[in-house]
Structure 1
Amino acid sequence: MTDPFWQTKSLAEMTRQEWESLCDGCAKCCLHKFIDDEDIDEGNDLQPTDFMADNEQMVYSNIVCHLLNDKTCQCTKYNQRTKLVPDCVQLTQENLDDVFFMPPSCTYRRLKEGKGLPSWHPLLHKGKKSAMHKAGMSVRGKVISDAEVDLDFFEDYIVRWPLNSVD
């Protein structure tokens, strides 16, 4: 029996199909994230950024993009998402090093860090997400749409459930 592609190939060597199949479908990347920084003021808060300083910390909320189906944990407009939501990032082999905000449980991040697939990953369960949902690793049942929230009160929505992998 041959080893699975994620054990024999680097992320850069994977085909587009292999790359896409690594996504566990947890939808944590769709969570609104904020950088906790005491130097932020009213003029620059809630602005997109492409870096994080050493003294800053990423804070995740349970607020998700309005395009997310929170039952299936899938984007309802996946192919158009970056046009409809300009801040939405399409994760690729080329930009993986620059995407610092992916949660620690993200399979792409785990593989990049040499940790391997988590035990609940759909690739280890015939493509099914049930083990992931059962392990509490998806956003299912834990989120609210950004269309239903006043973002001025984002601190009321800071995530209380784990972003780290359970294994």
Structure 2
Amino acid sequence: MSEPFWRTKSLEELSQDEWEALCDGCGRCCLLKLEDEDTGEVHLTRLSCRLLDVGNCRCADYERRHDAVHDCISISPEMIRKLDWLPGSCAYRRVAEGRDLAWWHPLVSGTIETVHQAGISVRGWARPEGTVNAYSMHRYIIADFEEE
């Protein structure tokens, strides 16, 4: 049996379908970040982008997300190495660092539910940004995710 693509290819070598399949569906990259204007420090919140369906942790309008959310960040091989806020559990980050996918990743487990069962996804605790007053967003700042 041949090795899975994420073990034999670099991120740059992945096809578009392989790239999309590598996403574990956790929704963590869709959490809002707030920048302190005085210090430049970036804080992660438990508020999700308005397009994130927090029930299934998928973008509700993935194809047109950049039109709807102008500051939506495209995750690319180049960006993976620059985005220090991506959690250690992120499949893209894991592959970029030469690590294998975790047991709960859908490509390993065979089901998208394991990312939620393992407590990796934002399901159950993220809150859509539209449900919060802009002046109270700072109340939703969270500590970094636990690294594996």
* Greater helix content: 2
Q: Which residue does 1:149 correspond to in 2?
A: 132
Q: Which residue does 1:4 correspond to in 2?
A: 4
Separation in structure 1 between the aligned mates of residue 93 and residue 134 of structure 2, nearest angstrom: 28
3-state SS of 1:59 partner: strand
1:11 is matched by which residue type in structure 2? L
Q: CA deviation at 1:148?
A: 1.1
1:132 to 87, 102, 115: 115
Q: Which residue does 2:105 correspond to in 1?
A: 121
Alignment of 1:1-167 (within 5 A): 1-35=1-35, 39=39, 56=41, 58-126=42-110, 128-159=111-142, 163-165=145-147, 167=148
Q: Where does structure 1 lack aligned partners over 5 or more consecutive residues?
A: 41-55
Q: Where does structure 2 lack aligned partners over 5 or more consecutive residues?
A: none
Larger radius of gyration: 1
Q: TM-score, normalised by structure 2?
A: 0.88
Percent identity over paired residues: 39
1:115 is matched by which residue type in structure 2? R
Separation in structure 1 between the aligned mates of residue 79 and residue 26 of structure 2, nearest angstrom: 20
Please give the per-residue CA displacement for 1:35-56, whole angstroms capped at 9, x wherever unaligned. Answer: 467535xxxxxxxxxxxxxxx4
Separation in structure 2 between the aligned mates of residue 106 and residue 35 of structure 1, nearest angstrom: 22
Q: Is the 8 A contact 2:26 2:115 kept in 1?
A: yes
CA RMSD of aligned residues (A): 2.0
3-state SS of 2:72 partner: coil
Please give the per-residue CA displacement for 1:82-105, whole angstroms capped at 9, x wherever unaligned. Answer: 110001012123443333332222
Q: Is the 8 A contact 2:34 2:138 kept in 1?
A: no
Separation in structure 1 between the aligned mates of residue 46 and residue 126 of structure 2, nearest angstrom: 5
Q: Which residue does 1:43 correspond to in 2?
A: none
Separation in structure 2 between the aligned mates of residue 163 and residue 37 of structure 1, nearest angstrom: 23
